[in-house]
Structure 1
Amino acid sequence: MIDRIHVPLLFSYGSLQQEGVQLATFGRRLAGSADALVGFAQAIVQSEDPEFAATSGKTHHPIVRFSDNAEDRVQGTVFEVSEAELVDADAYEADACKRIVATLASGAQAWILLPTPIFR
């Protein structure tokens, strides 16, 4: 039996898709492919974090919320990352998000970062 190396997947629907944010967060440009988050809806909110605005170049950013509607889809990119890069993604989002696993439209299971108010 051959052990398979598990490569974590990280799904981004927002600023982690931007090359500048990837370079600042991970020190490299991530390779990824288009996919969609099923059963979630997207909204745009204003960021209160000046560091986020400086890194992303934006004052507003997308968030997602569980909709419980299988017809809802949020388009984005799924990236292969290391365990250390998952920690970097958590640090980039700071206290604004919590990381959970979700099944994407492709059937892949990936980490996603959801706004923490959902969990309060």
Structure 2
Amino acid sequence: MIKLFTYGTLQHEDIQENLFGRMLQGTPEILIGYALKKIKIEEEFGIVAYDILVETGNPEDTINGIIYEITTKELHQADLYEGFHYKRVEVNLQTNEKAWAYSAAS
């Protein structure tokens, strides 16, 4: 199984059900050295602001999130869902575990 750190819409039950066909069981986790910024994305119904990870390298910057274990297929589905505004990056969590997360694409 693959570990995925989430901090936004991938934690929503309706998104998980639509994207993965199931509800994910997760564990709270903390990401260190990143901050959340807002990004505006044009959706079919207008401009929407979403959170996006930005690496700061500052150990005082932390983000609370949830880590899930997902399959390779589900990871690819999450890649498609996040789109071109986000890129998947490997991050180190407070527990020294490694996981994938979605960060700013540029």
| Normalised TM-score (structure 1) | 0.81
**Amino acid of the structure 2 residue aligned with 1:67:** T
2:96 is the alignment partner of 1:104? no
- Give 1:49 deviation, angstroms: 2.7
**Greater helix proportion:** 1
Question: By how many angstroms is 1:45 displaced?
Answer: 2.9
Identity of matched residues, %: 32
Q: Map residues 74-93 of structure 1 onto 2, 5 A cutoff.
A: 74-93=63-82
Q: 5+ residue gaps in structure 1?
A: 1-6, 54-58
TM-score normalised over the length of structure 2 = 0.91
Gap runs ≥5 in structure 2:
none
* Deviation string, structure 1 residues 45-95 (Cα, Å, up to 9, x no partner): 3321338x8xxxxx3221110011011101110000001000000010121
Runs of 4+, deviation exceeding 2 Å: 44-47
Q: Counterpart of 2:41?
A: 47
Give 1:28's aligned amino acid: R
Higher strand share: 2
- Aligned CA-pair RMSD: 1.8
Return the index of the structure with the highest Cα Rg: 1
Letter in 1 for 2:93: L
Give the number of equivalent residue pairs.
106
